[in-house]
Amino acid sequence: MSTNAAALRYLLVESRSASHGAALAFLRDAAVQSGEGHDVTLFLVQDAVSLALGGTPEIDGFLAAGGRLTVDRFSLDQRGIRPDAVLAAAAPVGMEDVAELVLDRDVRVVWH
């Protein structure tokens, strides 16, 4: 990790599953930002919640770089995925939590 005095805060939102190559590239980019010392929260929503089940090197790399992983509770419920079935590092959250970050003027939001 670099010593980045001007660390930025990011909320990165992924809605696509691992079957989309662009989603995996986005996760790798998230790991790079986190590894550079930025405060990165990755929010998985819609089909992307399946990534929180584990077995994806890109998610493992993101977590190893110090990123924070969150998963949409509603999307989990829609897909019949129990919150206790996701990775221990994945925090199920509601849209109110995401809205708080989106409205924070110090957080840069990228919705993919």
- pLDDT tens for each residue of 71-96: 999 999 999 999 999 999 999 999 99
The pLDDT of residue 4: 52
**Cβ contact 34:66 at 8 Å:** yes
pTM of the model: 0.91
Q: Rounded CA gap, 59 and 49, in Å?
A: 11
Torsion angle of the four alpha carbons 98, 77, 24, 96, in this order, in degrees rounded to the nearest 10: 0
Is 103 a residue whose pLDDT tops 50? yes
**CA–CA distance from 6 to each of 3, 9, 19, 37, 78 (Å)?**
9, 10, 35, 9, 39
Residues 6+ apart with CB under 8 A from 71: 43, 44, 45, 49, 52, 83, 86, 90, 91, 92, 93
Beta strands in the chain (DSSP E): 9-14, 39-44, 68-72, 90-93, 107-111
| Mean pLDDT along residues 2-28 | 84
* All structural domains of the chain: 9-111 (3.40.1260.10)
